Amino acid sequence: MNEVVRPEAARPTPVSSGDARDRGGKAQPILTAENLRKYFPIHGGVLMRKIAVVKAVDDVSFMVLKGESLGIVGESGCGKSTLARLLMCLTPRDAGSLVFDGDPIGGTSGLSLRELRRYMQIVFQDSDASLNPRLTVEDSIAYGPRVHGMASAEARALARDLLQRVGLRPELFGMRYPHELSGGQKQRVNVARALALNPRLLILDEAVSALDKSVAAQVLNLLRSLKRSFNLTYLFISHDLDVVQYISDRVLVMYLGQIVEIGPAEAIYRRPMHPYTRALLNSRLALDPRDRVETAPLTGDPPNPINPPSGCRFRTRCPFAEPICAKAAPALAKWVDRASHVAACHMADRASGHSRAGAAPPPLARHVRPEAIVSG
């Protein structure tokens, strides 16, 4: 089940010109992140001084285009969740800038945090911890609009409407408490709550990772249909490659706090350029018992984010590492449009001095088979 067929292929849903809040038009990215950085201090010693830093997000830059679904993949500890919080401004960034549809976030002339909250929302991984156990589902959803000034009765009506749209009957579920719901239902409530503020960009941080596969599939389908009806742009973070492949138009791969590859989903999954992406894809298990992997494609644990290796951070686990990789860190080439496919690897850079520089990336070890259609 290494490939799914989707009727829409790589074409994202167009942003309707009727969206009154659209400022820059189709060509302007909805979100631009530049040189984002977040280091966490570590305290130790007798007086608990700062003795080291964890470089959770290190100089990350990318753009999210309007109407697309951008997937972010990486292993645990690569910084994806920290990145999500930085984008939502829930965690203050140490450096870098964020621009939403042409308006800078923060600063004196840009969007205030409060305004930003109406444009960007987030759904967290833990569906249970995301809901106040002492509030009914309806109250939880209605809270956001009320904070921004909506009248209580109106907010409740909105909450009920949203419940309906995420597939939960409001008469049945509105007055329930979170502990009376299943995981999938709770996550739908979280989606409804995020949509209550009518955002334009929705960040989903491992939103289906904690759910059973069948339930996850339902929620994913829900997300896809909501995207159309609400005119949303998605940023979908996950460690599950299959899920990201299913829902994303473009994919961004992270490793140890940095971006290593960006490109259209199909390109990434069929012809990955970066050795890390290749290894990740090779380590997916197939449903066919005959399709076995003999050697582990990726060995060891990721190195310590406190002291990453010099030069290219992946070189300690890379089968193609050469001396040049330790000396200079490869830069992510500038990508031009939604179809560009770039990687931060010396092999992709003709002028790097790597022996394989400029050559076609080696094929995936796995035999890619046409698979049964999972879903439409």
Partner 1 sequence: MTDASFPLSLPSGAEDRFAAAPRGYWHTVGRRLRYDYVTLFFLLVVGLIALAAILAPLVAPFDPNKTSMLYRLKPIGYRGFLLGTDELGRDMLSRLIWGGRMSLTMGLTPVAIATSIGGFLGVVAGFAGGWVNMLVMRTMDVFYAFPSVLLAVAISGTMGGGVANGLVALTLVFIPPLCRVSEAATTQIRTRDFVEAARASGASTLSIIFYHVLRNIMAPVFIYASSLISVSILLAAGLSFLGLGVEPPTADWGLMLSTLRQSIYVQPLICALPGVAIFIASLSFNLVSDGLRQAMDIRV
Q: Please give the residue ranges that form the binding site for partner 1 (CB under 8 A).
A: 88, 90, 113-114, 116-118, 121-122, 124, 126, 129-136, 140, 143-144, 147-148, 167-169, 172-173, 175-180, 190, 193, 197, 214, 217-218, 221-222, 224-225, 375-376
State the DSSP string of 31-79.
Answer: EEEEEEEEEEEEEETTTTEEEEEEEEEEEEEEEE-TT-EEEEE--TTSS
Ordered strands of the 31-44 beta sheet = 49-64, 31-44, 95-100, 103-104
Query: And the tokens for 21?
Result: 């809040």
Distance CA 54, CA 304 (A): 8
Query: CB-wise, 91 or 283, nearer to partner 1?
Result: 91
What minimum distance in Å lies between the beta carbon of 201 and partner 1? 12
Q: How many CB atoms lie within 10 A of CB 95?
A: 13
Distance, in Å, from the CA atom of 168 to the CA atom of 185, rounded to the nearest integer, reads 8
Min dist CB 82 to partner 1, Å, is: 13
Query: What Cα–Cα distance (Å) separates residue 335 from each residue in 234, 252, 264?
Result: 20, 12, 11
Q: List, in sequence order, every beta strand (DSSP E) within 214-364.
A: 233-238, 250-255, 258-264, 342-343
Cβ at position 225, least distance to partner 1 in Å: 5
**Which of 47/351 has CB closer to partner 1?**
47
Query: Alpha-carbon Rg of the chain, whole angstroms?
Result: 22
Q: Measure the CA–CA gap between 205 and 190, rounded to whole angstroms.
A: 12
C-beta closer to partner 1: residue 237 or 262: 237
Minimum Å distance from CB 173 to partner 1? 8
**Shortest distance in whole angstroms from residue 99 CB to partner 1:** 19
Q: Token pair for residue 227?
A: 């995207």
Q: Which residues, listed in sequence order, are joined to residue 64 by a DSSP beta bridge?
A: 31
Question: What minimum distance in Å lies between the beta carbon of 343 and partner 1?
Answer: 32
Q: Which is nearer to partner 1, 14 or 358 (CB)?
A: 14
Q: Which is nearer to partner 1, 106 or 309 (CB)?
A: 106
Closer CB to partner 1, 176 or 271, in the complex: 176
Residue among 174 and 302 whose Cβ is closer to partner 1:
174
Q: What gap in Å lies between CA 284 and CA 129, rounded to an integer?
A: 29
Q: How far is the CB of 230 from partner 1 (least distance, A)?
A: 12
Q: Which is nearer to partner 1, 201 or 321 (CB)?
A: 201
Torsion angle, alpha carbons of 164, 166, 167, 169, to 10: -30
CB 80 to partner 1: min, Å = 16
Q: Which of 3, 69, 7 is nearest to 364 (CA)?
A: 3
Burial call 295-321: b when 16+ CB within 10 Å, e when fewer: eebbeeebeebeebbebbbbbebbebb
> Looking at beta carbons only, is 155 or 279 nearer to partner 1?
155
Query: CB of residue 360 vs partner 1: minimum separation in angstroms?
Result: 37
